[in-house]
Amino acid sequence: MQNAKLQIKIQNFQKKYPKFIYQNYSWRISKSNLEIFFDFKIEPNIKFRPKVIIEGVGDRVLNPVRNRRFLNGVNNLVFHLGLIELLSYWKATCSPEIIIQVGLLNPEQIKWWKDLIEKGMGQFFYENKINFHQKNFLKIEITDKLNDRQNYQYLKELDENKVLVPIGGGKDSVVTLKILREAKKEIQCFSLNPTEATKKIMRIAGCKKPIIVEREIDPKLLELNQKGFLNGHTPFSAYLAFLSVLIAVLFNLKYIAFSNERSSNEGNLKYLGEIINHQYSKSFDFEKKFRDYSKKYLAKDIEYFSFLRPLYEVQIAKLFSKYSKYLPVFLSCNIAYQTASGTKKPLKKWCGKCPKCLFVFTSLYPFVKGKKLIKILGKNLFEDQKLIPLMLQLVGERKFKPFECVGTKKESLITLYLSYKKCKIGGERVSAKLPFLLRYFEEEILPKYPNLEEESKKIMNSWNNQNSLPKEFKTLLK
C-alpha cells in the first residue's frame, strides 16, 4: 500500500513538473573570492539560484584575461559543477526531462551522466520506490547548440610538488594528510562548508591557508522538502570530485588525493536487478569513470585518485589510532550535522545511536584504549542493548548493510572479533564481564564464523591492486 502511494505521488510530480531546465551559470570575482551562481527552473514555476564561493582565488582567474582558452576552460569547469549541483534540485520532482540551455554535451557525455544518475542516486530511487528502468524515465536534451564556452579542455603546466587534499571531519582524510606530510609532500588542504571538527583537524595539522569553499543551498529547496516534495541521497563525493578539479585548475595543482577506501566498493542491496551502493561515488568504479571523463573533458593533466583505495576501513582505523592528537577532535557521525531540512539544530557531537557511530567504535576499539574511546564517543556503545539490530545489519545477519559510510560486512565481523579478542584475551574491560554486545557476539555470531582469526590477519595485511595511485604515492602508502 505504501509503495503504491509513493508511485502515485511520483507520477503526479512527473506529470505536473515535466521539465527541469539548467538555464544559466555565471561567476565573478568579489574581493578575493570567486562567486559562482547557477540558475535552475522546474517548469512551470519553480526557480532556484544556488551559490558557491571559493575563497582566496584573488586575481588567478582575471590575470590571463586575454587568454580566451583559459577563461573558456574555467567556464567549462563551472558548467560541469552546475551539472552535478542540479541533481540536488532535480530530485525534488524527478522531472522526466532535463534540458541544458547553457552548454554542450555530446552523446558520450550524456550517456556518462545518465550512468552516474542511475548508480549515484540508486539509494534515492530505492527509498522513494522509483522505477528508474521504466521507458522514457529520463531524457537529457541539449538546446544551446552554438554555445562556444564549453568543451574547452583546460591545458596548462601544473605544480607537481603540491597535492590538493580534501579534508572532512573524519579519520580517513587525517591518515592521508599525515602520511603525505611525513613523506615531505607539500599539502594544500581544501574543505567544503567546514565543520568545527574539520577546522580543528586543519589547525592541528598546521594547514596553512586552506582553501575554503562555501556551498549555499537555495532555501526554496528546503521549503519544498518540508512540503513533501521528493528528497533523498545524492552522490556527494561526485560533487567533491568536480569541485576539486576546478580548484586544482584555479590554484595550479596537478595532484588531487581523496581518501576513499576499498570498503566503499561493496554495495548495500539489490533493487530492480541493480546493486544499490550508498557509497557509489566513493567507489573505484566511479573513480575510474571520473578519471577518464576528467582527462577527456575537463583537465587532462590533473591526476585525480584516492590515496587510501588499496586499504580497508579497519586498516585505516589502525593507522589513525597512532595519531592521538586527532582522536578527541574527529567527528564522522552524520546525524551530528543533520538539520531535518532546516527544522532543527544539529547535535555537533557523536549521537551514539547510528550505524556510523557503532562501526567507528568497533573499528577503533581494538587499537585505542577502551576508556579513551568511551570518552570520545560519550559512552560505551558495547553496553547499549538497543544497538543489537544495527550490529546484526553491519555484519549481514539482518536486512541489508545500512546506508552509511561503513566498512564491508566482513570487516564488521572482523572488528567485532578483534574487539572481543582484546576484551577476552587482552583483558581490557571497563567492567568485570564482557560488555553486552560482545557477549551477544560470543554466543550468537562467533560460532557461525570459525575462521575469523585467520580472516582478520588476511584483511589486516591486505592490499588492493585495483587503484589509480601514481607510482610514487603507491610507494608512500605501502
Position 72 scores a pLDDT of 84
Query: What is the number of other CB atoms lying within 10 angstroms of the CB of residue 239?
Result: 19
Which pLDDT band holds residue 154 (cuts at 50, 70, 90)?
A: low
Does residue 171 register a pLDDT over 90?
yes
Kindly give the pairing relationship between strand 51-54 and strand 97-100. Answer: unpaired
Position 49 scores a pLDDT of 98
Task: Determine what percent of the chain is predicted with pLDDT higher than 90.
Answer: 82
- Retrieve residue 177's grid coordinates: 594528510
- For residue 61, give the nearest of 249, 256, 209, 299 by alpha carbon: 249
Judged by average pLDDT, the poorest of 70-84, 131-145, 333-347 is 333-347
Q: Which residues contact 234 (CB under 8 A, 6 or more apart)?
A: 87, 88, 91, 120, 121, 124
Query: What is this structure's pTM?
Result: 0.95
Q: What is the pLDDT of residues 217-242, one digit of tens each?
A: 999 999 999 999 999 999 999 999 99
Position 65 scores a pLDDT of 52
Does residue 144 register a pLDDT over 80?
no
Q: What is the pLDDT of residues 417-462, one digit of tens each?
A: 999 999 887 666 555 589 999 999 999 999 999 999 999 999 999 9
Which pLDDT band holds residue 60 (cuts at 50, 70, 90)?
A: low
C-alpha span between 268 and 396 (Å, rounded): 10
On average, the pLDDT of the chain sits at: 92
Identify residue 224 by its one-letter amino acid code: L
C-alpha span between 233 and 214 (Å, rounded): 20
- Region of 258 on the Ramachandran plot (φ > 0 left; ψ -120 to 50 alpha; else beta): beta
Higher pLDDT, 426 or 35: 35
Does residue 125 register a pLDDT over 80?
yes
Does residue 364 register a pLDDT over 90?
yes
Across 292-301, 343-352, 422-431, the highest mean pLDDT is recorded for 292-301
3-state secondary structure the chain: CHHHHHHHHHHHHHHHCCEEEEEEEEEEEECCEEEEEEEEEECCCEEECCEEEECCCCCCCCCCCCCHHHHHHHHHHHHHHHHHHCHHHHCCCCCCEEEECCCCCCHHHHHHHHHHHHHHCHHHHHHCCCCCCCCCCCEEEECCCCCCCCCCCCCCCCEEEEEEEECCCCHHHHHHHHHHHHCCCEEEEEEECCCHHHHHHHHHHCCCCCEEEEEECCHHHHHHHHCCCCCCCCCHHHHHHHHHHHHHHHCCEEEEEECCCHHHHCCCEEECCEEECCCHHHCHHHHHHHHHHHHHHCCCCCEEEECCCCCCHHHHHHHHCCCHHHCCCCCCCHHHHCCCCCCCCCCCCCCCCCHHHHHHHHHHCCCCCHHHHHHHHCCCHHHCHHHHHHHHHHCCCCCCCCCCCCCCHHHHHHHHHHHHHHHHCCCCCCCCCCCHHHHHHHHHHHHHCCCHHHHHHHHHCCCCCCCCCCHHHHHHHC
Q: What is the mean pLDDT of residues 328-357?
A: 87
Q: Which residues contact 255 (CB under 8 A, 6 or more apart)?
A: 160, 162, 163, 164, 302, 303, 305, 470, 473
Residue 145 CA: distances (Å) to CA of 85, 87, 241, 247, 312: 22, 22, 27, 28, 45
Position 58 scores a pLDDT of 81
Q: Which residues contact 472 (CB under 8 A, 6 or more apart)?
A: none
Does residue 66 register a pLDDT over 60?
no
Query: What is the number of other CB atoms lying within 10 angstroms of the CB of residue 322?
Result: 12
Phi and psi at 201, nearest 5°, equal -60, -45
Does residue 299 register a pLDDT over 80?
yes
C-alpha span between 241 and 89 (Å, rounded): 19
C-alpha span between 109 and 86 (Å, rounded): 16
- Retrieve residue 141's grid coordinates: 536534451
Judged by average pLDDT, the poorest of 137-151, 154-168, 262-276 is 137-151
Across 17-31, 52-66, 69-83, the highest mean pLDDT is recorded for 17-31
Q: Which residues contact 388 (CB under 8 A, 6 or more apart)?
A: 437, 440
Q: What is the pLDDT of residues 390-422, one digit of tens each?
A: 999 999 999 999 999 999 999 999 999 999 999
Q: What is the pLDDT of residues 203-221, one digit of tens each?
A: 999 998 999 999 999 999 9
- Retrieve residue 204's grid coordinates: 592541528
Task: Determine what percent of the chain is predicted with pLDDT higher than 70.
Answer: 93
Q: What is the mean pLDDT of residues 125-131?
A: 95
